[in-house]
Amino acid sequence: MQSHTATHERKTGIVIILTLLTMVAEIVFGYLSHSMALLADGYHMGTHALALGLTYTAYILIRKFSGSPRFPRGTEKIGTLTAYTSSIFLGFTGVWIILEAANRLLHPVHIIFNEAILVAFIGLTVNAACIVVMETGHADGSKHTDYNFKAAYYHILADALTSILAIVALVIGKYLGWTCLDALIGILGGALIVKWAVKLLKDTVAVLLDIKPAAQ
C-alpha cells in the first residue's frame, strides 16, 4: 500500500510540474502576444494546478502520519477526503462550463478561430502527456481504490475532453460557419464532467461514512 501511494505521489508531482510549466508559458506568451485566449487558458491551467496540489498535499500528509497513533485506522481516508473535496471542485467546473456555454448560446461572441484552435491543441498536448503519466497508476489492478489519485485523474481527463470537444467545434465552426456548435458542445462536455463528479462524490461519501454496498 505504501509503495502504491508513493508511486501515485510521484506521478502527481510530475503532472503538477507539467501543468505549472504550461501555465507559465501560456501566461507569459499571452502577455507578450496580447492573446486573451492564451491568458485565459494559462489561468485555467492554474486552477488545475491548485486541484492537483491538493492531491499532492494529501499524499504528504498520508506519508507523514503513516503509523501515527493519532490515526489508529490508518491514513487512507485523508486521500478519500481530498478526493471528496476535489469532486466538488470538479462538479462546480462542469456547472460553470454549462452556464458559460448557455450564455454564449444566447449571446454569441466573435471567435478568433485560429488562435482558439492553437490554444486548444496546446492544452490537449499537455493533458495527453499528463494522462500517459497517470494512466498506469489509475488502472494498476490494486484492490484498494485510491480516490485521491482518481480525482486528480478525472481533473486531467475532464480538461482533455474539453480540449478535444473544443477543437472539433472550432474546426467545424471555422469551415462551416456553425458557431453555435461551440456552445452546444460546451454544454455536452460540462454535463459529462458533472456526471463524473457526481459518481466520484458518491464513491468517496460511501468510503468516508463506511456505507456498505446495497445487497444484490
Is the pLDDT assigned to residue 18 strictly greater than 70? yes
CB atoms within 10 A of CB 12: 25
Taking the C-alpha atoms of residue 152 and residue 146, their distance in angstroms, rounded to an integer, is: 10
Q: Between the CA of residue 87 and those of 8, 30, 121, 145, 147, what are the distances in Å?
A: 18, 30, 26, 15, 10
pLDDT band at 205 (very low <50, low <70, confident <90, very high): very high
Is a pLDDT exceeding 90 seen at residue 198? yes
Q: Are 156 and 45 in contact (CB under 8 A)?
A: no
pTM, two decimals, is: 0.76
pLDDT for residue 39 = 66
- Between 92 and 47, the more confident residue is 92
Lowest mean pLDDT among 1-5, 11-15, 91-95, 157-161: 1-5
Q: How many CB atoms lie within 10 A of CB 76?
A: 19
For domain 2-208, the CATH architecture is Up-down Bundle (1.20)
Every domain of the chain and the residues it spans: 2-208
CB atoms < 10 A from the CB of 105, how many? Answer: 15
Residue percentage of the chain with pLDDT more than 90: 7
pLDDT, position 4:
66
pLDDT band at 17 (very low <50, low <70, confident <90, very high): very high
Most confident stretch, 9-18, 71-80, 114-123, 158-167: 9-18
Q: What is the mean pLDDT of the chain?
A: 81
2 pLDDT band (50/70/90 cuts)? Answer: low
d(CA 101, CA 185): 8
pLDDT score for 35? 61
Span 75-82, average pLDDT: 86
Read off the pLDDT of each residue in 183-189 and give the average, rounded to a whole number: 82
Does residue 81 register a pLDDT over 60? yes
